């Protein structure tokens, strides 16, 4: 295993640095060091014509001959770039003995520091390292990022540096400045810089600064985090997470998603589980109000979609009542995500004409069901919070005339690594759930399409087919026979 490295950008302007070696590789290293303002000495028996010219122009100093330990006197940093491992090893050992940081090009073992792959948008630089484990991967990533990152970012960073004092004196609070910088990034400034219209860009920046609010107004973004797989987040969600001062999140939101949020954002778990209300809804609303009134950008992060059994509606009513500005970012709801990741096409036209999202949270919600309509044929039910009410679901549906052979898929931890799918029938549902200890969070899909999971699954472990043997023919075969 490669050692974990500490990332670092070194300030070398005016400092003496030694490069041992006078070939093409050394020449590249010298170029980068000169760009950083280092005072470079090259030690080698011979130099490339370019290096010789640099020396002639006094851009670099020179030591002639074989490596001598005294070359290390006074330098801060050493790079060995010879093609002779023996020499490289001597340089490395001598540097380490003097507690100097040394890099031997393409030799992680002999190096105490490594030079990362760089995406250069000076003064902005992005460094990538694989700690020597997979340099190819770092290079590939670099290529990808090169194409992603606007070349106008460099000029933008310089322009913001020049404007920094003005910005600071007008916007004293860090959170106000963050909002302002976000607005700059979304404005025409970058387009203007890209088009080489630096003066207009400067003017646009000034206009934005003049109109930036000087006192904080808090706001709330209600964000759907999706069912668990971070790649199902929307770009809008990612952006809200990166702009947040405070994140109030449900317990169901996976840590991998919270890792994508702004590092400095305060994270508050207000998890709720059926029957175990950690933090009451009133308390959640009080927290939203408190943080928004303090001028913070609050993200209320919920599993799935905020408006699907997520109490997002109540929170908006509350915010409206208290005059707090809000936005809503939808998420992929568990019903859609679990179906997709289990291979259940919710409205496959051979089997269903409609899909209904229902919650079976409490006895009370079950009591209010119109069982007759739920039991109607050619529809799919996606049941949220249903694992605790399996017996009642079964008897309600059977009582209203639904056939016991109807397939049911229990999808536990949908889209997550630990996803588990159990395919059974309505008649056998309680027995299957008990036998396989089905647990929350789980979504139930009831209807003929649920049986398709047995053939169309693609993600994670294959489903457990717990249907009675005679009911196991995949729907696809029936169709072929028809
Ligand atoms: N707003 C959420 C639903 C909240 S209710 C949404 O749109 O998805 C919580 C219920 O959602 C859970 O009891 C479970 O039935 C379902 N659920 C949420 N995430 C799930 C997941 N990853 N796998 C299976 N079911 C999930």
CATH number of the domain enclosing 256: 3.40.1010.10
113-117, 318-322, 418-422: least confident range: 113-117
* pLDDT greater than 80 at residue 479: no
CATH of the domain at 410: 3.30.950.10
- Do 199 and 234 share a domain, yes or no? no
- Burial status of residue 321 (CB atoms within 10 A of its CB: 0-12, 13-18, 19 or more): exposed
In angstroms, what is the span from residue 457 Cα to ligand 1's centroid? 20
Closest atom of ligand 1 to CA, residue 302: 1
Q: Mind listing the pLDDT tens digit for each residue in 283-306?
A: 999 999 999 999 899 999 999 999
Instruction: Please determine, for residue 481, whether its predicted confidence score (pLDDT) is greater than 80.
Output: no
247 and 195 assigned to the same domain:
no
**374 and 476 both lie in a single domain:** yes
Q: Are residues 313 and 344 in the same domain?
A: no
Instruction: Give pLDDT, residue 476.
Output: 46
The single residue of 250, 448, 465, 466 carrying the catalytic annotation is 250
pLDDT-derived band at 366 (thresholds 50, 70, 90) equals: confident
Which range of 67-76, 144-153, 209-218 scores highest in mean pLDDT? It is: 67-76
Nearest CA to ligand 1 atom 6: 304
Does the residue 130 lie in any domain?
no
Pairing of strands 379-384, 354-359: parallel
Q: Is residue 174 located within the same domain as residue 273?
A: no
User: What pLDDT does 477 receive?
Assistant: 47
Residue 216 CA to residue 213 CA, distance in Å, equals 7
Average pLDDT over every residue of 348-376 = 91
Q: In this predicted structure, what is the pLDDT of residue 474?
A: 56
Asked, for residue 124, whether it belongs to a domain, the answer is no
126 occurs within a structural domain? no
Which residue's alpha carbon is nearest to atom 24 within ligand 1?
442
pLDDT value, residue 135? 80
> Between 198-211 and 174-186, two packed helices, what is the crossing angle to 10 degrees?
140
Question: What six digits make up the tokens of 378?
Answer: 């050619």
Pair 255, 189 in one domain: no
What is the rounded average pLDDT of the residues 72-83?
A: 96
Helix (H, G, I), strand (E, B) or coil at 205: helix
Q: Are residues 394 and 446 in the same domain?
A: yes
Tens-place pLDDT, residues 79-130: 999 999 999 999 999 999 999 999 999 898 999 999 998 999 989 999 998 8
In a domain, 202, yes or no: yes
Among 270, 304, 332, the domain-final residue is 332
Contacts of 374 (CB under 8 A, 6+ apart): 356, 358, 381, 396, 397, 400, 402
Across 246-268, average pLDDT = 92
Q: What is the reported pLDDT for 52? A: 97
Q: How far apart are CA 425 and CA 405, in angstroms?
A: 5
Q: Whose CA is nearest to atom 2 of ligand 1?
A: 304
User: CATH no. for residue 52?
Assistant: 3.40.50.720
Q: Which atom of ligand 1 is nearest to the CA of 228?
A: 22
Q: What are residue 44's phi and psi, to 5 degrees?
A: -170, 155
Specify the number of domains making up the chain.
4
Residues with CB under 6 A from ligand 1: 227-228, 252, 302-305, 308-310, 333-334, 338, 384-385, 411, 413-416, 440-443
Q: Are residues 381 and 477 in the same domain?
A: yes
> Structure tokens of 288?
């939203």
pLDDT > 70 in the chain, percent: 96
Which CA distances in Å does 281 have to 276, 284, 312? 12, 5, 11
Which of 344, 334, 301 lies closest to 413, judged by CA?
A: 334
Instruction: Give the pLDDT score at 133.
Output: 81
DSSP three-state, residue 220: strand
Domain identity same for 325 and 341: no
Helix/strand/coil percent split, the chain, to 5: 40, 20, 40
| pLDDT level of residue 273 (50, 70, 90 thresholds) | low
Residue 272 has pLDDT above 70, yes or no: no
| Cα 423 to Cα 409: distance, rounded to the nearest angstrom | 4
Q: Are 300 and 360 part of one and the same domain?
A: no
**How far is 73 from 18, CA to CA, in rounded Å?**
10
Picking from 332, 357, 388, the residue at the C-terminal end of a domain is 332
pLDDT grade for 361, boundaries at 50, 70 and 90: confident
Q: How remote is the CA of residue 386 from the centroid of ligand 1, in Å?
A: 10
Is position 10 within any domain?
no
285 assigned to some structural domain? yes
- Is residue 250 among the annotated active site residues? yes
Helix crossing, 281-293 with 312-321: angle to 10°? 50
Residues 186 and 309 in one domain: no
Question: Which of 165-174, 196-205, 265-274, 456-465 shows the lowest per-residue confidence on average (mean pLDDT)?
Answer: 265-274
Q: Which domain holds residue 255?
A: 219-332
How far, in Å, from the CA of 441 to the mean position of ligand 1?
A: 6
**Could you tell me the distance, in angstroms and rounded to a whole number, from the CA of residue 471 to the centre of ligand 1?**
28
Rounded Cα distance between 451 and 428, Å, is 14
3-state secondary structure of 49: helix
Probe target for ligand 1 pocket from 312, 441, 460, 463, with the most ligand atoms within 8 Å of CB = 441
Averaged pLDDT for residues 338-366: 93
In a domain, 32, yes or no: yes
Percent of the chain at pLDDT above 90?
81
Position 399 in a domain: yes
| Residue where one domain finishes, among candidates 281, 310, 332 | 332
Lowest mean pLDDT among 149-153, 245-249, 349-353: 149-153
Based on the domain organization, do 326 and 344 belong to the same domain?
A: no
Min mean pLDDT across 170-184, 297-311, 382-396 is at 170-184
Crossing angle of the two packed helices 24-35 and 49-56, in degrees rounded to 10: 40
Residue ID of nearest Cα to ligand 1 atom 9: 385
């Amino acid at each position: 295993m490669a050692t974990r490295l500490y990332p670092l950008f070194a300030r070398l302007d005016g400092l003496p640095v030694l490069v041992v070696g006078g070939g093409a590789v050394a020449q590249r290293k010298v170029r980068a060091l000169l760009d950083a303002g280092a005072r470079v000495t090259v030690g080698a028996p011979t130099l490339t014509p370019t290096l010789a010219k640099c020396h002639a122009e006094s851009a670099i100093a020179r030591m002639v001959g074989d490596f001598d330990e005294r070359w290390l006197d006074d330098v801060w940093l050493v790079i060995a770039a010879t093609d002779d491992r023996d020499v490289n090893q001597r340089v490395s050992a001598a540097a380490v003995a003097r507690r100097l940081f040394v890099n031997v090009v393409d030799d992680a073992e002999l190096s105490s520091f490594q030079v990362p792959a760089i995406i250069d948008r000076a003064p902005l630089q992005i460094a990538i390292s694989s700690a020597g484990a997979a340099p190819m991967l770092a290079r590939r990533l670099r290529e990808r990022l090169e194409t992603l990152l606007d070349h106008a970012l460099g000029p933008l960073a310089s322009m913001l540096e020049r404007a920094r004092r003005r910005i600071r004196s007008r916007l004293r609070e860090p959170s106000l400045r963050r909002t302002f910088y976000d607005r700059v990034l979304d404005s025409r400034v970058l387009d203007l810089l890209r088009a080489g219209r630096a003066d207009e860009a400067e003017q646009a920046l000034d206009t934005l600064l003049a109109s930036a609010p000087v006192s904080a107004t808090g706001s709330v973004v209600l964000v759907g985090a999706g069912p668990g797989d971070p790649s199902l987040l929307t770009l809008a969600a990612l952006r809200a997470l990166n702009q947040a001062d405070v994140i109030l999140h449900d317990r169901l939101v996976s840590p991998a998603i919270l890792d994508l949020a702004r590092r400095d954002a305060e994270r508050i778990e207000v998890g709720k589980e059926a029957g175990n209300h950690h933090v009451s809804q009133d308390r959640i609303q009080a927290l939203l109000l408190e943080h928004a009134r303090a001028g913070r950008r609050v993200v209320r992060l919920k599993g799935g979609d905020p408006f699907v059994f997520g109490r997002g509606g109540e929170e908006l009513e509350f915010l409206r009542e208290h005059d707090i500005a809000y936005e809503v970012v939808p998420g992929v709801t568990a019903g859609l995500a679990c179906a997709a990741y289990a291979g259940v096409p919710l409205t496959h036209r051979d089997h269903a004409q409609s899909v209904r999202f229902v919650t079976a949270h409490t006895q009370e919600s079950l009591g209010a069901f119109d069982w007759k309509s739920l039991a109607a044929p050619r529809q799919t039910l996606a049941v949220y919070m249903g694992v605790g009410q399996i017996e009642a679901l079964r008897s309600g549906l059977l009582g209203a005339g639904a056939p016991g052979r109807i397939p049911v898929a229990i999808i536990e931890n949908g889209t997550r690594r630990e996803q588990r799918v159990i395919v059974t029938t309505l008649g056998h549902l309680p027995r299957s759930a008990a036998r396989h200890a089905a647990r929350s969070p789980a979504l139930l899909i009831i209807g003929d399409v649920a049986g398709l999971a047995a053939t169309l699954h693609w993600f994670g472990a294959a489903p457990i087919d717990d249907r009675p043997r005679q009911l196991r023919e995949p729907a696809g075969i029936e169709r072929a026979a028809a």
